[in-house]
Structure 1
Amino acid sequence: MFLVMKKLLFSFSLIFLLNSVFAQQSPTWIWYPGDFEIWLSNEMQNRRTERETYFPPFWRMDSHYVLVEFHKEFELSSPEEITIAAEGKYNVKVNGKMLPGMPSKVALNAGKQKINIKVYNQQTVPALFVEGKQVTTDKDWKVTFEDKEWIDETGKASSQSGTIYVNAGTWNFNSLDKKPSAFKLPTRLEQAVNSSKIGEGTLIDFGKNTFGFLTLHILKGNGKVGIYYGESKEEALDTNHGETLDVLNVNLPQAKDSTLVNSKGFQYVYVVPNGNVAFDKVSMQYEYLPVEDRGFFKSSDEQMNRIWEVSKYTMELTSREFYIDGIKRDRWIWSGDAYQSYAMNYYLGFDSETVKRTILALRGKEPTMTHINTIMDYTFYWFLSIYDYYQYSGDKEFIALIYPRMKTLMDFVMKRRNKDGLLEGLAGDWVFIDWAEGLSKKGEVSFEQLLFTRSLETMALCADILGQQEDKAAFTKEASLMRDKFMDYYWNQNKQAFVHSRVDGQQTDDVTRYTNMFAIFFDYLNPQQQAGVKKNVLLSDEVQKIMTPYMRFYELEALCVLGEQDEVFQQMKDYWGGMLQLGATTFWEEYNPAKSGIDHLSMYGRPYGKSLCHSWGASPIYLLGKYYLGVKPTSPGYQTYVVEPHLASMNWMEGKVPTPNGDINLHVTKNKVKIKADTGVGNLKLKSKKRPTSKQGTFLDIGDQMYELKIEPNRSYEIDYLAI
């Protein structure tokens, strides 16, 4: 009996010890949420140059809060000593008592302990790191930029300050020496594939578009080196008109390797030394965002496989500290570009942290004075991106963080409505929509009203997620009123389509694709209206064609929603395949098949103004994942999902779609499907000439030769069917 009791006591002690070990939190650097993201975005977006000239963004740039208060209460089971580090000057209070100096070590007694630390930093983000056995910094610390604590004439501190506290911001800075202000993307060595003497210089070819820091090896002499970058050979060799260049001053009696401090996007580099400067060869340090390679697609169609791979590489290059537009020119965070990057990311790396960083950076600080990027439609894409993120990730915590900023931005939008409750461009507003020749932005453009309506619906959905019932009711009412106006003011029964705009209270005659295709995948149309839009707009040669991958993304999605996957598959091969035939190693900002030669390189009135590596060019990743592999969540975070594969002209395809808690693996031929999912409950939908069969379950006949099978997690399914 004694031995049994002794063993039990030992077991309980071991369990308690293990629980204590696992309960101990690893410390991390914390800050006011959004501040690191804003500071880092400022650092990144102010690196742009145009022919050696500093070229900053043209919208308002905000800054971090310079003084931040952090606090948290602890119940300590035993005394301990904590280590404190901060980026900035700081003070410490324990249970309301100020400690002298800026202590790096503080002894705490057992029992209830409240730690308050204020950090000031004008240059970089005020950040805090606390490490102890029981007391550590984590996302549950509370933080504010104004604690409103005052002391009255008796010396008593205020007991109710009315301060709004929020949970601290974090990322992955999980050690004392890994400071947020020192963050840099990693690099790796890459070599050029070819080098040739041309004129007075050397043309270096890296084989494909790339991004990073150039290194000149065994550089020596006295003079200058002109370095001319190009996404094309023509651009690099045109020293007078290329978009980006560096001029390196050299004074090196002893040879050394020299790596430039400015990163650039390029495939070709033309290096022209002056004076007695010489070098041996040129390499580069490729800069990248480390993201796990999760999403995957491969098929019997080799051209489509190549399109997927180039799309993936395009996405890799434009995924940096944030999702940017392109690697050569702007390197800024544009909300419309980022919105598409988020969608592609959900079918590739499922990198939630970069999505959240980008959303926070775009929002900036109060007070709201302009639309995001000054563009009305880009404000609405920002709203839409938040609910999409929740649907894919299930991250309610982020919705709670961002919701107050959603409300203030929506308040800004609502105050800009005209007497009819509609939106039109006011002073300082850019109504963008797309790069399209002759596209009117005059009056009340239907596309803006449509995005506004959807944004109001998004507000109601997010309010419901957070249990904000009054907000939900208010936004639901506004969305309903706006939707009725939109349908009444812009649907033209004779044209069986939405018109482009209203001017002076009257519909214009012009019909464009934008509003019509968005209304389809927003599910705003009845079957008769869908058929009208499909015939009179999407499949009509009389409506102005779309020439940017940006809006092709949405046009092809609308066609997929209408069941036109076969047509879309061929259009992807023609459009993105057309760029490949012209030698593209990444996908472009704009592609017009009617152009030829160097005309493909020009844009904005400049011979090389076009970006040949643009984030919105990578949309086949999303289309292939969602509408061919056919995987999409039907409840937040893939708790439930649907898989509806479509082979189009492929004999077979296989792929992997990432989710927050594992992957969904799929292999499809014309008579067999294999599927295995790590998470959630799925609904496999197959169109088959006969009822599909599987040893792992029974299909339900849902009509029109469609059948369904429930997919349980962590179980492999093999299905026999006959594709139509």
Structure 2
Amino acid sequence: MAFKFQINNDVKFNHNEELLKKAEDNVPTLKHKNISAKRIVDIVADKNAMNGFKAVDSDKDISKLASYSFKKGEKIVLDFGNHEVGHFGIDLNSVGSPMDAPLFLHLTFAETPAEIGVDSSTYDGWLSSSWITEEYVHLDVLPTTLHMPRRYSFRYVELEVMDTSPKWGVSFSSPTLETESAVSIKDVPEVKIDDPMLRKIDQVSIKTLQDCMQEVFEDGPKRDHRLWLGDLRLQAMANYATFNNQELVKRCLYLFGGMTTEEGKISANVFTKPQSTPDDTFMYDYSLFFISVLKNYFDNFKDQTVVDDLYPIAKREIDLALKEVNSDNILQMNEDWPVFVDWSNDIDKQTSGQAILIYVMKQFVTLADLKHDPDLNTYKEIIEKLSQAAIEKMYDKNKGLFTSGPDKEINIASQSWMVLAHVLNDEENYKLMTNAIKKLFPVTGIATPYMYHHIAEALFESGHKDDGIELIKNYWGKMVDLGADTFWEAFEPEDLNFSPYGSPVINSYCHAWSCTPTYLIRKYLVK
């Protein structure tokens, strides 16, 4: 697994104030509820648990929390019963002699037990350690109520007393959490799902999506708190099948559309605090997915105004993307505008990129037709040329699989994206994925639900329903078996200790691109 930071300080961006005003007009009013801690737990080592730790019932009773006192070196872990996003608060009081020194308190907020079990001071990864969700607090006067100003994403809170004094201890009471989300689970229409594992996966998917729906569709509420285009595409599709919130998708479309580069390229992600700012990171497929989000949004809400506002931006993005195609109608790989597909840099991504371009262009011509674009037929002809080139230059008829790159690599990403782009007819797509199942399954070396989603959807799209169900159960179901309240940013079933950053303390265990089983289940399995 690898990711290369991009630094493009010389890029100049447009700021279309009219579009950005429409983005601000669609900032949602966040919903809140207060939740109390459900139990006290101990975090214990277990080699069979995710990242080697699990939570077990403590001998302490949450109803008697205020009666316990803690001194230097002592700690307690509170369990709120489910993954939540919001602000933590707790009452504190001194016990014993008069308070002759400040309370020095260490708080650790954890989505999973391992984030408490692993010593955070050992982290030495390539992401900033400032993302580790822990705080050190000095309190001079007790009793008091501690309200943490930062928003956290967590289920567990460890309270560790770094010091009091030999004369007194501290007691805790009324641990609460005020949650935040743009949506409520009550907004989701019920559907009948007979399979108990699929039903549980659906519930966890919806919870994942809810906790990522804040003032934008965040990629993860623990880390980044950012709007990424690839994540947005998947979140929006899951949203249409569940919460069906219109304003949040509209807001995100206007944010991306309102802040392109001067040449028209769309950033891979945007920041919204302290003001809306595009990142200087660009990914070829993510930029193209702006068109996918726009087309899917129109399909769901029939909002002509948004299409009218953003179609010129979508068209410019297509035209820029086509400049990366050579005279043989094959996409050329460009390190300055890389094709993402998946975190792994161990797979060749040229064929996947070609398929994604075709996939998005087919969506674009629907918008072009809606807008009576005089160039419509030209774009249709380009799709035919790109598709024909893919078949002639990338498809190995003897193996019945697509190859990728100069070494003719065969990987699951190429097959999945070519199926989703429907470059072949339905019968050929069925045969393609049949061959992929024989050659490339069980899937290994793919660590993100983002890529697993596209594999699963390709199975359903090609008529391999049972294989699609099995993949969902084996991948997302394994996370459920390991105790997932929300689905994770990264997961390798064959390696329970996997982290793309070298430590579980920095992983995100509620991540946007992992929420899509609810979409797949409701689109392909629920009648």
Same-fold status (TM-score > 0.5): yes
Q: 1:372 aligns with which of 239, 257, 267?
A: 267
Q: 1:491 aligns with which of 385, 389, 395?
A: 395
- State the distance in 1 between where 2:223 and 2:472 align: 26
Q: 1:358 aligns with which of 234, 252, 255?
A: 252
Q: Which whole-Å deviations, capped at 9, do the CAs of 1:563-614 have from their partners, x for residues lacking one?
A: 3223322332232221111111111223322224xx15x2222343432212
Letter in 2 for 1:594: E
What is the match of residue 622 of structure 1? 519
- State the distance in 2 between where 1:286 and 1:305 align: 24
Q: Which whole-Å deviations, capped at 9, do the CAs of 1:619-663 have from their partners, x for residues lacking one?
A: 22111111112xxxxxxxxxxxxxxx3xxxxxxxxxxxxxxxxxx
Q: Which whole-Å deviations, capped at 9, do the CAs of 1:47-74 have from their partners, x for residues lacking one?
A: xxxxxxxxx99677998959x6xxxxxx
Q: Quick check: 1:215 aligned with 2:103?
A: no
Aligned residue for 2:227, secondary structure, equals coil
- State the distance in 2 between where 1:525 and 1:263 align: 48
What is the match of residue 455 of structure 1? 360
Aligned residue for 1:440, secondary structure, equals coil
- State the distance in 2 between where 1:422 and 1:197 align: 56
Q: Which whole-Å deviations, capped at 9, do the CAs of 1:142-200 have from their partners, x for residues lacking one?
A: x6xxxxxxxxxxxxxxxxxxxxxx89727768xxxxxx7xx763432111122358953
Q: 2:379 aligns with which of 475, 500, 503?
A: 475
**1:345 positional shift:** 0.8
- State the distance in 2 between where 1:426 and 1:452 align: 14
The verdict on how the C-alpha distance between 1:463 and 1:64 changes in structure 2, with shifts beyond 3 A counting, is: closer
What is the match of residue 134 of structure 1? none
What is the match of residue 187 of structure 1? 32
- State the distance in 2 between where 1:609 and 1:491 align: 40
What is the match of residue 106 of structure 1? none
The verdict on how the C-alpha distance between 1:453 and 1:572 changes in structure 2, with shifts beyond 3 A counting, is: closer
Q: 2:320 aligns with which of 407, 412, 415?
A: 412
The 5-angstrom pairing of residues 142-181 of structure 1 reads 169=22
Aligned residue for 1:458, secondary structure, equals helix
The verdict on how the C-alpha distance between 1:264 and 1:424 changes in structure 2, with shifts beyond 3 A counting, is: farther
Q: Which moved more, 1:415-424 or 1:354-363?
A: 415-424
**1:351 positional shift:** 0.9
The verdict on how the C-alpha distance between 1:538 and 1:353 changes in structure 2, with shifts beyond 3 A counting, is: farther
The verdict on how the C-alpha distance between 1:57 and 1:348 changes in structure 2, with shifts beyond 3 A counting, is: farther
Q: Quick check: 1:269 aligned with 2:157?
A: yes
Aligned residue for 2:359, secondary structure, equals helix
What is the match of residue 604 of structure 1? 501
Q: Quick check: 1:288 aligned with 2:181?
A: yes
Contact 1:335 1:382 in 2 (8 A): yes
Q: 2:371 aligns with which of 466, 482, 488?
A: 466
- State the distance in 1 between where 2:93 and 2:384 align: 67
Q: Quick check: 1:560 aligned with 2:460?
A: yes
The 5-angstrom pairing of residues 668-687 of structure 1 reads none
The verdict on how the C-alpha distance between 1:377 and 1:351 changes in structure 2, with shifts beyond 3 A counting, is: same
Aligned residue for 1:229, secondary structure, equals strand
Letter in 1 for 2:108: Y
Aligned residue for 1:313, secondary structure, equals helix
- State the distance in 1 between where 2:395 and 2:107 align: 55
Q: 2:490 aligns with which of 576, 590, 598?
A: 590
Question: Normalising by structure 1, what TM-score?
Answer: 0.58
Contact 2:358 2:421 in 1 (8 A): no
Aligned residue for 2:192, secondary structure, equals strand
Aligned residue for 2:513, secondary structure, equals helix
Contact 1:454 1:479 in 2 (8 A): no
Contact 1:225 1:249 in 2 (8 A): yes
Contact 1:226 1:245 in 2 (8 A): no
Q: 2:434 aligns with which of 513, 523, 535?
A: 535
- State the distance in 2 between where 1:485 and 1:408 align: 23
Q: 1:201 aligns with which of 75, 96, 102?
A: 75
Q: Quick check: 1:327 aligned with 2:221?
A: yes
Q: Quick check: 1:439 aligned with 2:347?
A: yes
Q: Quick check: 1:226 aligned with 2:114?
A: no
The 5-angstrom pairing of residues 385-404 of structure 1 reads 385-404=293-312
Contact 1:557 1:623 in 2 (8 A): yes
Letter in 2 for 1:207: G
Aligned residue for 2:191, secondary structure, equals strand
Contact 2:103 2:140 in 1 (8 A): no
Contact 1:219 1:258 in 2 (8 A): no
**1:544 positional shift:** 5.3
Contact 2:288 2:317 in 1 (8 A): no
Q: Which moved more, 1:480-489 or 1:189-198?
A: 189-198
- State the distance in 2 between where 1:575 and 1:628 align: 17
Aligned residue for 1:297, secondary structure, equals coil
**1:465 positional shift:** 0.6
Give the structure with the larger helix fraction. Answer: 2
Q: What residue ranges of structure 2 are gaps of 5+ in the alignment?
A: 44-72, 124-130, 269-281
Letter in 1 for 2:85: F
Aligned residue for 2:35, secondary structure, equals strand
- State the distance in 2 between where 1:249 and 1:563 align: 56
Contact 1:497 1:529 in 2 (8 A): no
- State the distance in 2 between where 1:197 and 1:495 align: 54
Q: Which whole-Å deviations, capped at 9, do the CAs of 1:671-711 have from their partners, x for residues lacking one?
A: xxxxxxxxxxxxxxxxxxxxxxxxxxxxxxxxxxxxxxxxx
Q: What residue ranges of structure 1 are gaps of 5+ in the alignment?
A: 1-55, 69-142, 144-165, 174-179, 630-644, 646-724
CA RMSD of aligned residues (A): 3.1
Q: Which whole-Å deviations, capped at 9, do the CAs of 1:202-223 have from their partners, x for residues lacking one?
A: 2222222221111132367725
What is the match of residue 424 of structure 1? 332
- State the distance in 2 between where 1:63 and 1:218 align: 49
The 5-angstrom pairing of residues 517-536 of structure 1 reads 517-536=416-435
The verdict on how the C-alpha distance between 1:248 and 1:186 changes in structure 2, with shifts beyond 3 A counting, is: farther
Q: Quick check: 1:578 aligned with 2:478?
A: yes
Q: Highest CA radius of gyration, 1 or 2?
A: 1
Letter in 2 for 1:452: L
Letter in 1 for 2:356: L
Aligned residue for 1:518, secondary structure, equals helix
Letter in 2 for 1:315: L
Contact 1:512 1:543 in 2 (8 A): no
- State the distance in 1 between where 2:427 and 2:14 align: 52
The verdict on how the C-alpha distance between 1:609 and 1:430 changes in structure 2, with shifts beyond 3 A counting, is: farther
Letter in 2 for 1:408: R
What is the match of residue 243 of structure 2? 349
Aligned residue for 1:214, secondary structure, equals strand
- State the distance in 1 between where 2:236 and 2:288 align: 15
The verdict on how the C-alpha distance between 1:234 and 1:440 changes in structure 2, with shifts beyond 3 A counting, is: same
The verdict on how the C-alpha distance between 1:219 and 1:478 changes in structure 2, with shifts beyond 3 A counting, is: farther
The verdict on how the C-alpha distance between 1:538 and 1:340 changes in structure 2, with shifts beyond 3 A counting, is: farther
Q: 1:513 aligns with which of 412, 415, 425?
A: 412
Aligned residue for 1:247, secondary structure, equals strand
The 5-angstrom pairing of residues 61-80 of structure 1 reads none
Q: Which whole-Å deviations, capped at 9, do the CAs of 1:236-278 have from their partners, x for residues lacking one?
A: 2424257523435434425221211111112222222344384
**1:349 positional shift:** 1.0
